[in-house]
Amino acid sequence: MKTKTIEPIKKIYGNISLPGDKSISHRAVMLGAISKGRTSARGLLDCDDCNYTIRAFRDMGVNITKEGDVTLIEGVGLRGLKRPASPIRVGNSGTSMRILAGILAGQDFKSVLEGDQSLSKRPMKRIVEPLSLMGADIEAASGDFPPIRIRGGSLKPIDYRMPVSSAQVKSAVLFAGLYASGVTTVEELVKSRDHTERMMKYFGADIKVNGLKVSLAGGRELDGKAVEVPGDISSASFFIAGAVLLKDSRVTIKNVSINPTRSGILSVLSRMGARVKVLNKVDAFEPYGDIEAEFGPLKGIVIEEAQIPGMIDELPIIFVLASLAKGRTVIKGAGELRFKETDRIISMKENLENMGGSVIVGKDEMVIDGVSQLDGAGLKSFGDHRTCMAMTIASLTAKGESSIDDVECVNKSFPGFFEILEGLKK
């Protein structure tokens, strides 16, 4: 495991473009594979997680090749996948495992989904239950954890009210709904990211969204499409935070996804008083634009539970922002962070307290009191890409040198993170 030393810097400055959005990349591969005809995806994210999804479909007979920054997917249609010769391994990718389960539930063969040690501790009952209601023969080890064993077959539509808002669970049910005879409806408590709904409609699915309800009529074949994958706002958030926190900094990030169900961090930054704006907006099937951020003082705010799904992946860097804001930040209903690659509440609390931050974790909320400056310290990534990148930005602002262990974990979502950051340092 590689440990990286992080020295504090004066500022970051410049214009950058980022790799494609991870969530959109996963779905482009999945929908392209089960559509008829060719899908060309420009800007698909080349990272560990997305590559596991690509390998899974190659193992099921889908021809996927790359020509420069374009990924070509020769779709086989809804019923054209072949039984894989061995268990499908998805590494640490929860998105791959949960959504693939929905697709595999509709196939006429047996399959097994396996994850690495970390993923094997993440809950899967949340997808097993609704897919079982649809008629799938599916089980997880000990009832809740990978591996997942699936005997695919005929599915029936359901009306499903989700107990916890989750884009992965919603997507698993909707993908299974493609194989059901009739209309499958999913209702959320709070709106989660809607990449699946947007992209299914773009590929020709009969899908309707009415507030918190999504309805999908199964049985319709999809058609391959040309997909432009915008930059990942989760990846952008680290550079935005660096610009906001370091004096005299300014960064412009080109062509970033500003999907309203994913851009909650922009609302948080605005309420904290940050100097961040979106320019050159394009209203495509996934809206995108350029994000400009510059240094300015921040203030503490209250983040309500209903806002959490729109910024769930950005919470680690929001914890860093809150630690250096004036006053108190209260974050409510962030318990889902305990079920990520690591328990991100614990990982961030431990690291920030090692740097002199103040983080109090209650039953239903977190309270962060801002400090004027963090101190350099020995930090742990906990093998979690977002914890690692968030603490890297915190270290740039600190007084004194820091070190972070196991930095290779950033390859899960952002292999070029440190190289792009190095190019911005001034």
Q: Give residue 299's pLDDT.
A: 97
Q: Determine the average pLDDT of the residues in 8-23.
A: 95
- Residue 296 in this model has a pLDDT that exceeds 70: yes
Q: Which residues contact 142 (CB under 8 A, 6 or more apart)?
A: none
Residue 243 and residue 200 share a domain: no
Residues 212 and 239 in one domain: no
Three state DSSP letters for 193-206: CCHHHHHHHHCCCE
Average model confidence (pLDDT) across the chain: 94
* Domain end marker among 194, 228, 262: 228
Above 70 in pLDDT, residue 263?
yes
Total-model pTM: 0.91
The pLDDT score that the predictor gives to residue 339 is 61
Q: Which of 226, 132, 121, 116 is nearest to 176 (CA)?
A: 132
Query: Do 345 and 236 share a domain, yes or no?
Result: yes
Q: Tell whether 405 and 354 lie within a shared domain.
A: yes
Q: How confident is the model at residue 164 (pLDDT cuts 50, 70, 90)?
A: confident
In this structure, of 9-13, 189-193, 309-313, the range with the lowest mean pLDDT score is 309-313
Residues 321 and 220 in one domain: no
The predicted-structure confidence for 68-122, as pLDDT tens digits, reads as follows 999 999 999 999 999 999 999 999 999 999 999 999 999 999 999 999 998 898 8
CATH number of the domain that residue 267 is part of: 3.65.10.10
Predicted confidence at residue 337, as pLDDT, reads 63
Verify that 36 and 85 share a domain, yes or no.
Answer: yes
What is the percent of the chain with per-residue pLDDT over 90, rounded to a whole number? 86
Does one domain contain both 393 and 344?
Answer: yes
Could you tell me if 297 and 353 lie in one domain?
A: yes
Q: Same structural domain for residues 39 and 106?
A: yes
Sign of CA dihedral 158, 160, 166, 167: positive
Domain count, the chain: 2
Domain that residue 327 falls in: 4-20+230-424
Regarding whether 350 and 321 lie in a shared domain, the answer is yes
Q: Which of 195, 228, 261 is the last residue of a domain?
A: 228
Bridge partners (DSSP) listed for residue 288: 257, 282
Q: Is 244 found in the same domain as 151?
A: no
CB 190 within 8 A of CB 167: no
* Residue 139, pLDDT score: 94
Among the candidates 228, 248, 275, a domain finishes at 228
Report, as residue numbers or ranges, the catalytic residues: 313
- d(C-alpha 338, C-alpha 343), whole Å: 4
Do residues 36 and 15 both lie within one domain?
no
Distance separating alpha carbons of residues 46 and 138, to the nearest angstrom: 30
| pLDDT of the residue at 338 | 65
